[in-house]
Amino acid sequence: MNIVIFSESGKSKISELLELDDEVELREFSADELENYKQYNPSLLILDLDLTKIREFCAVRKLECSVLIPSPIIPEDLTVRALTYDYITTPINQTELNVRAKALLKTYETKKNLVKSAICDELTGLYNRRYLHHRLDAEISRSKRYGTPVSCLLIDIDYFKIVNDMYGYEWGDILLKKIAKMLSALVRKEDVLTRYGDEEFIVILPETTEAQARIFAERFRTDVEKMEFIPANEEERHPITVSGGISSFPSEEDIEEDSNTLIRYAEHALYNAKQNGKNKIVEFSKMNLGS
């Protein structure tokens, strides 16, 4: 967690009064750096500034962190749109400061964990289906607005049920986490990686054509094919492969502009990959809808 203090000089007396745990990092900046606050990823933002400057700063922003404002009086006319916020009267009492700072950090961490649990898969830590549709719709809208492509890659672990049946669900979970870790290492910062089903994953690839998505998918497929997966009490690796289906927007197939359709077409492509021997990547084609 990060505490970031902004003061006029860049060195606030508040930093000398804070008693921090080892996992909390403290950084200080001058008021001139206030516009760049996001890049410091604060958990708690302490604004040791003139109230006029704080009013200007808070009036036009929604802050996704906790905020603590030192002030000789509680400013009733100050609107703060933040995850949570509090005031501390000056001159500052050290004990009160640390109690309030720790409470704000705890609130931030609790709310962050609640948000994460709502949009992330518990086993793999990847985003879940709820978040997937929200982001895919946003990427399709951006694609339409700026004329950039977006691709959807659906990946399925071949014969996953056999792994569960032969070695138990514990080893099935180990495999899922291993696949998730391998995918996480390949995706870019702007990509969105989600766990879509029991053994299925979807990667949203913004600004990526169908051909570029296939290159990504083939690289991952071959990496998995060579992967070491040796369950307990086994002398040799258990062969693991994946199949994948790709759909893209815009497309020569004239795909409708919504996340449900793009995913459905990726599912059709994956079905064809499975029907044609598994361990392969297939792009969506309306010609294959009935196959």
User: Annotated catalytic, 234?
Assistant: no
The full DSSP string for the chain is -EEEEEESSS--THHHH----TT-EEEEEEGGGGGGGGGG--SEEEEES-HHHHHHHHHT--EEEEEEEEESS--TT----EEEEEEEESSPPHHHHHHHHHHHHHHHHHHHHHHHHHHB-TTT--B-HHHHHHHHHHHHHHHHHHT--EEEEEEEETTHHHHHHHH-HHHHHHHHHHHHHHHHHHS-TT-EEEE-SSSEEEEEEET--HHHHHHHHHHHHHHHHT-----TT-SSPPP--EEEEEEEES-TT---SSHHHHHHHHHHHHHHHHHTTSS-EEE--GGGTT-
Neighbours of 167 (CB within 10 A): 18
Which one from 139, 199, 210, 267 is the annotated catalytic residue? 199
Q: What are the catalytic residues?
A: 199
